[in-house]
């Protein structure tokens, strides 16, 4: 499969007449072939029209057929072989093992959603049986299932060119829910996007689905994305990126005649709380492990540990010393794009210049373009509490340690934090009381709480939550990773006295889909004797 620079609109491919752009290899700063033609209103219109046309058919595909479609996408991504890995490495500056791992995660994620679709729990089927004898009024027959919201706009993320991009978590969960997807590809990895997009396009054709189930648009600016979110046929948005970008899309969505949900995963500094006993017994281990988590992938993770809180004293000094040693040995690593690199350098410069912030350690100096030189800073709790600016995320391997006079101050700082994807506590048995006191605050602030671990590395499974209060995300009621992500793209519909011949399978008598269902409020298994409705 070769790259042509074309957008994929339904079953076709079209070279955009807008401003063309090329991918940049951040490791060399050089542009790569081919040039990708930017899209415009005509392509947004066509992609949305096809998605709308496909919607009623696609949302009613059988569970098995839809699951196989997701598996077909996974297989076709694997079939791209080394060409995909090479292009993704070149476009992202990420090391080959990371891209190979990310490909595995992308494929596993599609297969997880295939399982989720087959099991059918997301249909959330309910049946409240008629009570014709009830007084004063009979009760009608009421049934409920969830249906797809409508076509979804997905924005590829820069930092996961596979797992949160064209066939990433947002796309997989939207397709699983029965929503056609229109992707606005990230301009940082257009070649990777085209390859993966063509794999999805081929899977659509192989599974004989309506062509509008998937389209993919290019634009090096914001016009196409804005037009897409504003289009009346788009009913939800999935986005992973900057706070500014997410808020811009939220505003477009809120200003529509029909406002729509935006699932934007934006900004998080993922605080780490080092409790006294843990710090006392294993400051060196913690410092070393922290530095490893901070510098992994040049710190370009949503869950990168950007803030550390501890009581000032010998334990914290040992932690800082161990972290500094590790950090000073850490090689500078290529960042995803020149823009991200410039923003990182800006953020580090801003912190370095402050009189109330100390530079504790830097990583090894840069030896190539667009490299991230790790940075560890420290400040007093007083400084942090008096300036909300110190909460701003510096995307990359930079972190700020807050020296607190006592544990109560750590709680006070926690209470002042914005919403987070994660909050981590390092605690020994002797820290149990402190941990217990911190717990409710962290639960209110974050989507995921970790003990004695590191937030980088998000497991794709059933119980995971990759979400959290604003500005971590625009909608704390959901997760963008894991099985529950499918719920973002569903809504309930109730069927009152609908004739058997017209009822959707999920709520038919006899339970043809073998679902867990709630009958008069009670959960019943597919094979339960009471499930005979």
Which residues are part of the catalytic machinery? Answer: 265, 302
Stretch that binds a copy of itself, among 126-134, 166-174, 176-184, 289-297 (CB under 8 A): 126-134
Residue among 33 and 136 whose Cβ is closer to a copy of itself: 136
Pairing, β 214-217 against β 181-184 = parallel
Enumerate residues 30-59 that contact a copy of itself by CB under 8 A. 56
Closest distance to a copy of itself from the beta carbon of 428 (Å): 10
Q: DSSP letters of 113-135? A: HHHHHHH-GGG--EEE--BTT-S
Separation of alpha carbons 413 and 404, rounded Å: 9
Closest distance to a copy of itself from the beta carbon of 494 (Å): 4
Kindly state whether residue 170 participates in binding a copy of itself, applying the rule CB under 8 A.
Answer: no
Enumerate residues 463-492 that contact a copy of itself by CB under 8 A. 463-465, 467, 469-471, 474-479, 483-484, 490-492
Task: Go through the chain and tell me how many residues it has.
Answer: 533
Closest distance to a copy of itself from the beta carbon of 344 (Å): 25
3-state SS assignment for residue 66: helix
Stretch that binds a copy of itself, among 179-187, 294-302, 378-386, 455-463 (CB under 8 A): 455-463
Enumerate residues 259-288 that contact a copy of itself by CB under 8 A. 259, 261
Stretch that binds a copy of itself, among 34-42, 133-141, 272-280, 396-404 (CB under 8 A): 133-141
Classify the C-alpha dihedral 83-85-91-93 as positive or negative.
Answer: negative
Q: By CB under 8 A, how many residues form the interface with a copy of itself?
A: 78
Closest distance to a copy of itself from the beta carbon of 55 (Å): 8
Residue among 348 and 427 whose Cβ is closer to a copy of itself: 427
Residue among 353 and 502 whose Cβ is closer to a copy of itself: 502
Separation of alpha carbons 263 and 468, rounded Å: 11
Kindly state whether residue 495 participates in binding a copy of itself, applying the rule CB under 8 A.
Answer: yes
Classify the C-alpha dihedral 24-30-36-40 as positive or negative.
Answer: positive
Residue among 122 and 377 whose Cβ is closer to a copy of itself: 122
Closest distance to a copy of itself from the beta carbon of 169 (Å): 15
Separation of alpha carbons 474 and 241, rounded Å: 12
What are the structure tokens assigned to 439, written together? Answer: 């717990």
Enumerate residues 331-390 that contact a copy of itself by CB under 8 A. none
Kindly state whether residue 140 participates in binding a copy of itself, applying the rule CB under 8 A.
Answer: yes
3-state SS assignment for residue 273: strand
Closest distance to a copy of itself from the beta carbon of 313 (Å): 24
Separation of alpha carbons 400 and 382, rounded Å: 14
Enumerate residues 100-119 that contact a copy of itself by CB under 8 A. 115, 119
Looking at the chain, the number of H-run helices and the number of E-run strands are 14, 23
Beta strand ranges found along 174-235 (DSSP E): 181-184, 214-217
What are the structure tokens assigned to 84, written together? Answer: 């995909």
Nearest to 236 by CA among 182, 299, 292, 303: 182
Stretch that binds a copy of itself, among 3-11, 15-23, 120-128, 289-297 (CB under 8 A): 120-128
Enumerate residues 203-232 that contact a copy of itself by CB under 8 A. none
DSSP 8-state assignment for residue 473: B
Closest distance to a copy of itself from the beta carbon of 195 (Å): 25
Q: Which of 60, 86, 387, 392 binds a copy of itself (CB under 8 A)?
A: 60
Kindly state whether residue 500 participates in binding a copy of itself, applying the rule CB under 8 A.
Answer: no
Stretch that binds a copy of itself, among 284-292, 309-317, 394-402, 516-524 (CB under 8 A): 516-524
Residue among 3 and 442 whose Cβ is closer to a copy of itself: 442
Enumerate residues 181-200 that contact a copy of itself by CB under 8 A. none
Query: Helix crossing, 63-79 with 190-206: angle to 10°?
Result: 140
In contact, 467 and 476? CB cutoff 8 Å:
yes
Task: Put the strands of the sheet holding 12-14 in their side by side order.
Answer: 12-14, 7-9, 214-217, 181-184, 152-155, 236-240, 262-265
Stretch that binds a copy of itself, among 142-150, 169-177, 195-203, 328-336 (CB under 8 A): 142-150
3-state SS assignment for residue 189: coil
What are the structure tokens assigned to 352, written together? Answer: 């370095």
Enumerate residues 393-422 that contact a copy of itself by CB under 8 A. 418-419
């Amino acid at each position: 499969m070769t790259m042509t620079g074309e957008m994929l609109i339904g079953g076709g491919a079209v070279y955009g007449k807008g401003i063309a752009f090329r991918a940049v290899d951040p490791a060399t700063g050089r542009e790569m072939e081919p040039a990708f033609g930017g899209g415009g209103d005509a392509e947004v219109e066509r992609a949305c029209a096809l998605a709308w046309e496909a919607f009623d058919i696609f949302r009613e595909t059988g569970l098995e057929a839809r699951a196989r479609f997701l598996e077909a996408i996974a297989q076709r991504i694997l079939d791209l072989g080394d060409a995909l890995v090479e292009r993704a490495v070149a476009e992202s500056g990420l090391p080959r093992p990371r891209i190979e791992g990310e490909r595995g995660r992308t494929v596993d994620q599609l297969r997880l959603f295939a399982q989720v679709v087959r099991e059918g729990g997301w249909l959330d089927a309910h049946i409240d049986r008629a009570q014709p004898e009830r007084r004063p009024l009979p009760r009608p027959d009421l049934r409920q299932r969830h249906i797809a919201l409508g076509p979804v706009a997905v924005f590829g993320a820069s930092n996961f060119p596979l797992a949160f991009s064209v066939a990433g978590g947002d796309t997989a969960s939207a397709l699983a829910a029965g929503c056609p997807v229109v992707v606005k590809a990230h301009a940082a990895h257009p070649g990777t996007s085209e390859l993966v997009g063509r794999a999805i396009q081929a899977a659509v054709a192989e599974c004989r689905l309506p062509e509008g189930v998937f389209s993919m648009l290019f634009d090096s600016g914001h016009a196409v994305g804005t037009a897409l979110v504003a289009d009346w046929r788009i009913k939800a948005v999935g986005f992973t990126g900057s706070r500014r970008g997410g808020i811009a899309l939220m505003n477009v969505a809120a200003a529509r005649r029909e406002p729509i949900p935006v699932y934007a995963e934006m900004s998080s500094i993922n605080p780490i709380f080092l409790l006294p006993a843990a710090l006392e017994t294993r400051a060196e281990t913690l410092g070393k492990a922290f530095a490893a988590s901070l510098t992994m992938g040049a710190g370009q993770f949503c869950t990168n540990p950007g803030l550390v809180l501890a009581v000032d004293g010998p334990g914290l000094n040992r932690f800082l010393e161990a972290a500094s040693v590790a950090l000073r040995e850490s090689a500078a690593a290529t960042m995803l794009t020149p823009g991200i690199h410039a923003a990182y350098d800006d953020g580090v410069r801003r912190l370095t210049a402050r009189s109330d912030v100390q530079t504790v350690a830097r990583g090894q100096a840069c030896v190539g373009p667009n490299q991230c030189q790790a940075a560890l800073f420290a400040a007093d709790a007083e400084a942090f509490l008096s300036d909300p600016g110190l909460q701003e995320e510096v995307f990359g391997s930079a972190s700020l340690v807050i020296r607190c006079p006592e544990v109560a101050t750590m709680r006070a700082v926690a209470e002042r934090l914005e919403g987070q994807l994660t909050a981590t506590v390092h605690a020994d048995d002797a820290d149990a009381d402190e941990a217990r006191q911190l717990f409710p605050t962290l639960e209110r602030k974050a989507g995921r709480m970790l003990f004695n671990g590191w937030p980088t590395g998000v497991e794709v499974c059933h119980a995971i939550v990759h979400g959290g209060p604003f500005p971590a995300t625009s909608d704390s009621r959901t997760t963008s990773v894991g099985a529950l992500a499918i719920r973002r793209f569903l809504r309930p519909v109730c069927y009152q006295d609908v004739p058997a011949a017209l009822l959707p399978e999920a709520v038919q008598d006899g339970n043809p889909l073998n679902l867990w269902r709630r009958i008069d409020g009670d959960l019943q298994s597919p094979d339960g004797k009471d499930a005979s409705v």
